[in-house]
């Protein structure tokens, strides 16, 4: 059954048709529409750690990665807190049985602050599943767990200069894996490079072989940490335009999917050249608009799509200046955009064309929210770091349908959904909630 997207997202349908996904698949981090939403139905409104749980599988440690699934298999990653192994897992989607696991690297990180190298999310298609870790170990396995290719990006391109490590999820689109490396041009510690500054770049990789198809440099005039990003490339289709969007280095750029050539750029949220304005949230987009969350409490900007070359601030359609997002990616769902301020725990619902605020409400609790919101079946699902899941009604009235205490922090994975199913990743377990019907 092919996805039936809302009228607002008809142009984006061409982007997802290549994957022939259904409401039973969530094969990339932000879902089948690349915006955090799904047309899945019959989703649970309330449950507990024992009620309405189809199965649960223990995890050997925490991870920021979001599980994905394709067909009858669920894929996820984890750091093994005892061995420090970085592990890829495959489970049977129906009963949760472990089908295989594979060690693909050795992890490290600041566990006291919840950082580890199992932050990028896997990607699946009908033939393969792709895993990239913060160590830059990058591999493709078939659905039976056989390694098809494996490489390490830092062995190929040199050590990355990113303060908290590399945590970007790739994008599978148009028959290519797109990997962005937006890094400062000088080492974090030590003297400058002897030969030349380190480059930021966009890389296209052949999914079948793991070999590079092309690599394009992405220059900016950002300073130090403001070069760096933890976001994911996003596809954008509107009319006859097809682009790969990336954000970081104080700017947004659109690139040709075939060659990587830069089509346009906009960026003026850091005219003072502040040195520590890294970017965490990925871009969101819909017909005619691209949404960028500037860092550290700066505005959320809606940029008019379709430009060429270097854009002026005339490209700004509207901006949100309160309760903005420093980490969580905006959700686009049913003709609304939802911006989640994870530090303040405030969710803002807006008209995505005008920026008109319909409501902005604080969620009960004190824990920070790092996971991005999911929209499906008329509901919005949000999980905070302590494992409290909020289920809200989507629409122009703020209404909480339920609050479920899963516990088991540290929880940073977004909640992917399928018909009748939620997949909730805590620091200790992977839960499948619902009957899948």
Residue 377 and residue 235: Cα distance in Å, rounded? Answer: 24
Residue 121 per-residue DSSP state: P
Structure tokens given for 168: 């970007």
Closest CA to 47 of 429, 421, 427: 421
H or E, element range at 90: strand 85-92
Beta pairing class for 262-266 and 309-310: parallel
Residue 103 and residue 105: Cα distance in Å, rounded? Answer: 6
Closest CA to 331 of 2, 31, 48, 49: 31
Residue 239: per-residue pLDDT: 87
Residue 189: per-residue pLDDT: 82
Closest CA to 236 of 314, 193, 312, 178: 178
Residue 124 and residue 156: Cα distance in Å, rounded? Answer: 24
Q: How many other C-beta atoms lie within 10 A of the C-beta of residue 190?
A: 7
Residue 69 and residue 420: Cα distance in Å, rounded? Answer: 14
Residue 134 and residue 119: Cα distance in Å, rounded? Answer: 7
What is the residue whose two structure tokens read 């430009």? 307
Q: How many other C-beta atoms lie within 10 A of the C-beta of residue 306?
A: 15
* Cβ–Cβ under 8 Å, residues 181 and 109: no
The string of DSSP codes covering 307-323 is: --EE--GGGEEEEE-SS
CA 64 and chain centroid, separation: 10
Burial class (CB in 10 A: 0-12, 13-18, 19+), 4: exposed
* Cβ–Cβ under 8 Å, residues 283 and 291: yes
Residue 17: per-residue pLDDT: 37
Burial class (CB in 10 A: 0-12, 13-18, 19+), 352: buried
Residue 219 and residue 240: Cα distance in Å, rounded? Answer: 27
Provide the whole-model pTM: 0.93
Sorted by where each starts, the structural domains of the chain and their CATH numbers stand as 7-433 (2.130.10.10)
Residue 435: per-residue pLDDT: 82
Sign of the Cα pseudo-torsion (260, 266, 269, 271, in order): positive
* Cβ–Cβ under 8 Å, residues 179 and 205: yes
* Cβ–Cβ under 8 Å, residues 78 and 63: yes
One digit per residue, the tens of pLDDT, for the chain of length 437 reads 333 333 333 343 433 333 344 567 999 999 999 999 999 999 999 999 999 999 999 999 999 999 999 999 999 999 999 999 999 999 999 999 999 999 999 987 555 455 789 999 999 999 999 999 999 999 999 999 999 999 999 999 999 999 988 999 999 999 999 999 999 999 888 766 656 789 999 999 999 999 999 999 999 999 999 999 999 999 999 888 999 999 999 999 999 999 999 999 999 899 999 999 999 999 999 999 999 999 999 999 999 999 999 999 999 999 999 999 999 999 999 999 999 999 999 999 999 999 999 999 999 999 999 999 999 999 999 999 999 999 999 999 999 999 999 998 889 999 999 999 999 999 999 999 998 65
User: 178 vs 62, 173, 219, 248, CA distance in Å?
Assistant: 26, 8, 17, 15
Residue 325 and residue 328: Cα distance in Å, rounded? Answer: 6
- E strands within 165-217? 171-173, 176-181, 201-205, 212-217
What is the residue whose two structure tokens read 């050997």? 60
């Amino acid at each position: 059954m092919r996805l039936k997207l809302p009228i607002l997202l008809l142009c984006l349908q061409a982007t997802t048709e290549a994957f022939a996904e259904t409401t039973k698949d969530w094969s990339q981090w932000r879902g089948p529409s690349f915006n955090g939403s799904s047309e899945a139905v019959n989703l649970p409104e309330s449950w507990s750690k024992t009620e309405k749980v189809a199965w649960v599988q223990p995890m050997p440690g925490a991870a920021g990665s979001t599980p994905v699934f394709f067909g009858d298999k669920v894929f996820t990653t984890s750091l093994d807190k005892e061995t420090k192994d970085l592990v890829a897992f495959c489970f049977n989607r129906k009963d949760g049985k472990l089908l295989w696991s594979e060690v693909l690297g050795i992890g490290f990180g600041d566990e006291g602050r919840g950082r580890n190298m199992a932050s990028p999310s896997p990607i699946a298609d009908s033939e393969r599943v792709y895993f990239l870790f913060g160590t830059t170990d990058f591999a493709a396995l078939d659905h039976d767990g056989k390694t098809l290719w494996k490489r390490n990006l830092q062995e190929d391109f040199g050590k990355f200069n990113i303060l908290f490590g590399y945590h970007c999820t790739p994008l599978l689109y148009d028959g290519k894996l797109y990997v962005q490396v937006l890094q400062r041009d000088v080492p974090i510690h030590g003297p400058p490079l002897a030969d030349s500054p380190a480059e930021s770049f966009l890389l296209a990789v052949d999914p079948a072989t793991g070999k590079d198809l092309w690599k394009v440099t992405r220059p900016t005039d950002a300073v130090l940490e403001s070069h760096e990003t933890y976001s994911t490339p996003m596809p954008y289709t509107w009319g006859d335009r097809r682009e790969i969007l990336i954000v970081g280095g104080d700017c947004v750029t659109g690139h040709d999917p075939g060659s990587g050539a830069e089509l346009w750029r906009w960026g003026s949220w850091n005219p003072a050249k502040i040195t520590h304005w890294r970017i965490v949230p990925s871009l969101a987009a819909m017909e005619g608009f691209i949404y960028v969350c500037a860092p550290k409490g700066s505005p959320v900007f809606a940029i008019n799509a379709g430009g060429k070359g270097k854009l002026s601030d005339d490209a700004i359609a509207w901006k949100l200046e309160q309760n903005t997002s420093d980490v969580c990616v905006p959700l686009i769902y049913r003709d609304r955009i939802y911006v989640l301020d994870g530090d303040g725990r405030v969710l803002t619902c807006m008209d995505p064309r005008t920026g008109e605020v319909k409501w902005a409400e604080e969620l009960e609790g004190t824990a920070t929210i790092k996971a991005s919101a999911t929209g499906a079946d008329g509901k919005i699902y949000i999980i905070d770091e302590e494992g409290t899941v909020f289920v809200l009604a989507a629409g122009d009235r703020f209404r909480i349908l339920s609050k479920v205490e899963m516990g088991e922090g540290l929880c940073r994975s977004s909640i992917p959904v399928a018909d009748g199913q939620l997949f909730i990743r805590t620091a200790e377990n992977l839960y499948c909630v619902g009957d899948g019907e």
